[in-house]
Chains A and B, each alone.
Chain A
Amino acid sequence: MNKLLLSAGLGLCLVLSACGGSGDGKKKSDVPRIFDPFPSTYAAYPSGATLITGATVLDGKGGLIEGGSVLIEGGKIKAIGADLTAPEGATTINAAGKWVTPGIIDNHSHLGAYPSPGVEAHGDGNEISGPVTAEVWVEHSVWPQDPGFTRALAGGITSLQILPGSANLFGGRGVVLKNVPARTVQAMKFPGAPHTLKMACGENPKRVYGYGRGAYPGGAPYSRMGNVAGYRTAWIQARDYKKKWDAFIDGTGDEPARDLELETLAGALSGDILVHMHCYRADEMAIILDLSQEFGYKVASFHHAVEAYKIADKLAEYGTCSSMWADWWGFKMEAYDGIRENIPMVHNAGACAIVHSDSDIGIQRLNQEAAKAWSDGKRAGIDIPIEVAWQWLSLNPAKSLGIDGKTGSLEPGKMADVVVWSANPFSVYAQAEKVYIDGALMYDRNDPAIQPVMDFELGQPGEGDRK
């Protein structure tokens, strides 16, 4: 009897999923179980036309233009090249000696969910209450007043993915944000970005649940094999759940009861929700690759992936990304085999390499993390041009988040998410001088009026970084 009277939620689903970015050309049975009751209210801030001239321009997809120009108009990249003329009324920025790149995209951040100050009341980054909490959405934990967003902006971060923590097998939904100060998280949400799902391999889930509850044994999972059984059990339930909704939509079944946890998992199975998985060890990543094929979903990126270099060929063949640090290692057993050349070695094997932070300090200088990895690769005989390596910072993370059609490179028609650097951004001495988001100047290192200060810092001994 309810077949025609879809629940309000699902009604919204069918409408919004189409604007979710991946709805076109889908079969009815593929209609995602995602809908967004908390839609993005972000709109680009006003900006005039801006012509940046005379810079070394990295286009973000592998090209470098000496003495290059970038024209921004209507919040979009209008043109990029060696010789551009400013339209009437445009602001011209003479960037001789400076470098221009696409904005950096960090696909692994906990800003807002584990904000500064890191007091107990702010520990909102991980719903540790159970090993499967696919029902939680990290956007409901994001505090837009986290001062960390402003520091990241000063480091050239224009978009970022906030993920739930890695205690759980399924940690919940992540969210992609524009790095624009806002009163609400909705006003930061990247319009049309797919939802994401955080999963975790290895030590964390078994430590937290297996022996984290003061009892012996604490509960499942207690071991790596328990982790894998936990994923499979949940995926089996999700597959059944998805079948029921498929049948309902086909008109061959009754409307099933909604289940928030399974909605997320079913969305991942249908490909509408992108899977981002915390996984350090090579052998575990290889198991997850098979597991994803058992259930027919795809891993968008392995996060941390400290041993990605050991199976870079397999990662390339499968076609997933690895989101990596330049040199973190050894702090726990599954990070013991970390090496400085991980990122270039993954790249060199033809796999998708990403520099990520997982840190409110690291996010402020991902360009430096890329530079370290790049130079360590070079010393090991892997010579990658800077302009190619920049893909680790913008285009590849954009791909992993399903937003590469909109941002991540300086191509006409894309969002004008642009950074002007004082010097070669692979130098420790370079600073992000100007950061544009959708064409609007959101940060200017040389103009305190264009440096946001969050509520929390107002009236405190330090208002922003450099009071």
Chain B
Amino acid sequence: MIRPLILSLAALCLAPLGLTQPVAIIGEKVWTGTAQGTLTNGVVVIDDGRIVSVGTGAAPAGMAQVQAKWVTPGLISAFSRTGIAEVPGEKSANDTGAGGSPFSAALNAADGFNPDATPIAVTRLEGFTRIAVAPDARSKLFAGQGFLADTSGLPGSIFKQRAFAFLVLGERGAALSGGSRPASWTALRGAFDDVRFFTARYMTHNDGNVLTRLDAQAFMPAVKGEQLILIEARRASDLEAIMDFKQENPMLKIAIVGADEGWRVADRLAAMNIPVIVDAFSNLPSTFSQLAATSENAARLAEAGVTVAIVNLDDSSHQARLAAQIAGNAVANGLPFDTAMQALTTAPARIFGMEGLGMLAPGARADVVAWDGDPLEITSAPTAVFIDGVSEPMESRQTRLRDRYLSLDESERPLAYRR
């Protein structure tokens, strides 16, 4: 009901302009994510879904303008369950995992994605334009296939299916494999064998040593090094074991999720060029796999030269948006501001091979966010969000509820009539 003026203005100007009209997005600060660094009084011109120019000086005449304190690329959530669970606590409204399925590695999270899911708009409103979405492991350490999507909430917002295979090792992987780390490594190596001897092994059976026929088929690109493998692991020794495995299988493309003790093996991660996706809030010995967890993990990993993306692992379906707050806290604990911004933009783009995303550069896709302040600051919020050049609605089911209840006056009619 009471909404910032700039929003309604932006919506008014842009709605009729559509994709083909250019827009100048002007920021007192423009964080580009490129060698241009942070521009003061910068101008980003977008047209036809792409960024046309990024520079300083006066905005070109004759086009719509959006003014902001800060302008950044659309943020990228590097690990989430956004859009595959409407209410995680309700089985009927949760497609993150399938403990009762005979299948594992073949489970394609994209089949569960609902662009109408309410967390999509909630996440977009906080500046996230792209999400990497992973299934959860429930029956085996092989969770299935993850995908990449935008947060427009429109049909067709998945832009890459089967973008990565997601596996769970460490304590959780052990539990899913029968009770121990040796069991999970036996299963993982066995699965690799199933894939490598696929034709022979499945000639007469539907089952391999570890994987069903469908699972082995789906896991094949990962084993061949054609698909990214995301592995959840936390303890330093688990990370070492993964790096040993990568050394035995150098063709594999691996990134690690969690890596709470990553700082202890940071040099090797950097040398092996293995990126990590961390929740920088993790600073407690919450399990015996996180004894060395520290709020300086992200800073120490980055210092060693590891590519770091920052996410919220605590509630990844509904609160992926908190990654910006988490990145701000990482800055307070030693991570340089630019690296923290990269952890929400260029780093995830690099990890997932998202071309033309996570940066403001001529020719890049026009995912742009206008902010009312420093994007990592908890009191800041986006005032406009563009995805592929389209000005997105700054409305969610949450803002609708807020607007309904800002006044509790029911003297004329019940609140249910207010929309």
Q: Which residues of B contact A372 (CB under 8 A)?
A: 325, 378-379
B318 touches A330 (CB 8 A): yes
B88 touches A431 (CB 8 A): no
Least Cβ–Cβ distance between B91 and chain A, in angstroms = 11
| In the complex, B286 has a CB within 8 A of chain A | yes
26 A-B pairs within 8 Å (CB atoms) are namely A117-B288, A118-B287, A119-B287, A147-B285, A148-B284, A203-B89, A313-B408, A330-B118, A331-B315, A337-B401, A339-B398, A340-B402, A361-B281, A364-B281, A371-B378, A371-B379, A374-B379, A380-B2, A428-B378, A431-B332, A460-B292, A461-B261, A461-B291, A462-B291, A462-B292, A465-B283
| In the complex, A336 has a CB within 8 A of chain B | yes
Least Cβ–Cβ distance between A223 and chain B, in angstroms = 16
The answer to whether A375 and B294 touch (CB under 8 A), given A333-B90, A349-B408, is no
Q: Which residues of B contact A37 (CB under 8 A)?
A: none
Question: Among residues 328 to 348 in chain B, which have CB atoms less than 8 Å away from a CB atom of chain A?
Answer: 328-329, 331-333
| In the complex, A312 has a CB within 8 A of chain B | yes
| In the complex, A140 has a CB within 8 A of chain B | no
Residue among B90, B295, B315, B398 with max Cβ neighbours from chain A (10 Å): B398
Docked Cα-Cα span, A340 to B318, in Å, equals 13
State which size class the interface on A falls in. Answer: 35 or more
Question: Among residues 324 to 343 in chain A, which have CB atoms less than 8 Å away from a CB atom of chain B?
Answer: 327-333, 336-341
Least Cβ–Cβ distance between A454 and chain B, in angstroms = 9
Chain B 112-144 interface mask (CB, 8 Å, partner A; 1/0): 000000110010000000000000000000000
Least Cβ–Cβ distance between B190 and chain A, in angstroms = 29
A-B pairs, 7 with minimum CB distance: A332-B89, A428-B328, A462-B292, A381-B2, A375-B379, A461-B292, A330-B318
| In the complex, A116 has a CB within 8 A of chain B | yes
| In the complex, B264 has a CB within 8 A of chain A | yes
A375 touches B402 (CB 8 A): no
Docked Cα-Cα span, A374 to B381, in Å, equals 12
B interface list, Cβ under 8 A from A: 2-4, 86-90, 118-119, 122, 236, 261, 264, 281-288, 290-296, 314-315, 317-319, 322, 325, 328-329, 331-333, 376-381, 398-399, 401-402, 405-406, 408
Q: Which residues of B contact A456 (CB under 8 A)?
A: 285
Give me 9 other A-B pairs in contact (C-beta within 8 A), A118-B286, A375-B381, A379-B381 excluded.
A309-B405, A312-B408, A327-B319, A328-B319, A329-B398, A339-B401, A361-B284, A368-B329, A372-B378
The answer to whether A462 and B293 touch (CB under 8 A), given A119-B288, A331-B318, A339-B401, is yes
Q: Which residues of B contact A379 (CB under 8 A)?
A: 3-4, 381
B331 touches A428 (CB 8 A): yes
Within 8 Å by CB of A428, from B2, B284, B314, B329, lies: B329
A340 touches B378 (CB 8 A): no
B318 touches A329 (CB 8 A): yes
Docked Cα-Cα span, A349 to B409, in Å, equals 12
Q: Which residues of A contact B377 (CB under 8 A)?
A: 427-429
| In the complex, A151 has a CB within 8 A of chain B | yes
Q: Which residues of B contact A338 (CB under 8 A)?
A: 398
Q: Which residue of B lies closest to A330 (CB)?
A: B318
| In the complex, A28 has a CB within 8 A of chain B | no
A116 touches B285 (CB 8 A): yes
Q: Which residue of B lies closest to A331 (CB)?
A: B88
Q: Which residues of B contact A313 (CB under 8 A)?
A: 408
Within 8 Å by CB of A368, from B89, B118, B378, lies: B378
Docked Cα-Cα span, A466 to B319, in Å, equals 26
| In the complex, A19 has a CB within 8 A of chain B | no
A341 touches B402 (CB 8 A): yes
| In the complex, A178 has a CB within 8 A of chain B | no
Q: Which residues of B contact A361 (CB under 8 A)?
A: 281-282, 284, 314
B88 touches A457 (CB 8 A): no
Q: Which residues of B contact A365 (CB under 8 A)?
A: 329
Docked Cα-Cα span, A151 to B329, in Å, equals 14
User: For chains A and B in complex, what number of residue pairs have CB atoms within 8 angstroms?
Assistant: 144
Q: Which residues of B contact A461 (CB under 8 A)?
A: 236, 261, 264, 291-292
Q: Which residues of B contact A460 (CB under 8 A)?
A: 285, 291-292
| In the complex, A358 has a CB within 8 A of chain B | no
| In the complex, A26 has a CB within 8 A of chain B | no
A427 touches B378 (CB 8 A): yes
Docked Cα-Cα span, A313 to B406, in Å, equals 11
Docked Cα-Cα span, A430 to B325, in Å, equals 12
Least Cβ–Cβ distance between B136 and chain A, in angstroms = 14
Docked Cα-Cα span, A312 to B295, in Å, equals 37
Q: Which residues of A contact B402 (CB under 8 A)?
A: 309, 339-341, 345, 380
Residue among A117, A332, A376, A457 with max Cβ neighbours from chain B (10 Å): A117
| In the complex, A438 has a CB within 8 A of chain B | no
| In the complex, A360 has a CB within 8 A of chain B | yes
Q: Which residues of B contact A311 (CB under 8 A)?
A: 408
| In the complex, A467 has a CB within 8 A of chain B | yes
B285 touches A428 (CB 8 A): no
Chain A 409-433 interface mask (CB, 8 Å, partner B; 1/0): 0000000000000000011111100
Docked Cα-Cα span, A462 to B283, in Å, equals 10
Least Cβ–Cβ distance between B407 and chain A, in angstroms = 10
A465 touches B264 (CB 8 A): no
| In the complex, A310 has a CB within 8 A of chain B | yes
Within 8 Å by CB of B295, from A118, A376, A426, A466, lies: A466
Q: Which residues of B contact A380 (CB under 8 A)?
A: 2, 402, 406
Docked Cα-Cα span, A376 to B379, in Å, equals 8
Least Cβ–Cβ distance between B29 and chain A, in angstroms = 16
Least Cβ–Cβ distance between B344 and chain A, in angstroms = 13
Q: Which residue of B lies closest to A348 (CB)?
A: B406
The answer to whether A332 and B284 touch (CB under 8 A), given A429-B328, A462-B293, A465-B294, is no
B331 touches A330 (CB 8 A): no
Docked Cα-Cα span, A341 to B1, in Å, equals 13
Least Cβ–Cβ distance between A36 and chain B, in angstroms = 31
Chain A 300-324 interface mask (CB, 8 Å, partner B; 1/0): 0000000001111100000000000
Within 8 Å by CB of A332, from B87, B290, B329, lies: B87
Docked Cα-Cα span, A116 to B281, in Å, equals 15
Residue among A329, A376, A428, A457 with max Cβ neighbours from chain B (10 Å): A428
B88 touches A466 (CB 8 A): no
Question: Among residues 137 to 180 in chain A, which have CB atoms less than 8 Å away from a CB atom of chain B?
Answer: 147-148, 151
Docked Cα-Cα span, A18 to B376, in Å, equals 50
Least Cβ–Cβ distance between A323 and chain B, in angstroms = 19
Docked Cα-Cα span, A313 to B281, in Å, equals 36
Docked Cα-Cα span, A360 to B322, in Å, equals 16
Q: Which residues of A contact B329 (CB under 8 A)?
A: 365, 368, 428
Q: Which residue of B lies closest to A360 (CB)?
A: B284
A331 touches B296 (CB 8 A): no
Docked Cα-Cα span, A371 to B264, in Å, equals 33
Docked Cα-Cα span, A332 to B317, in Å, equals 12
Within 8 Å by CB of A381, from B87, B285, B291, B406, lies: B406
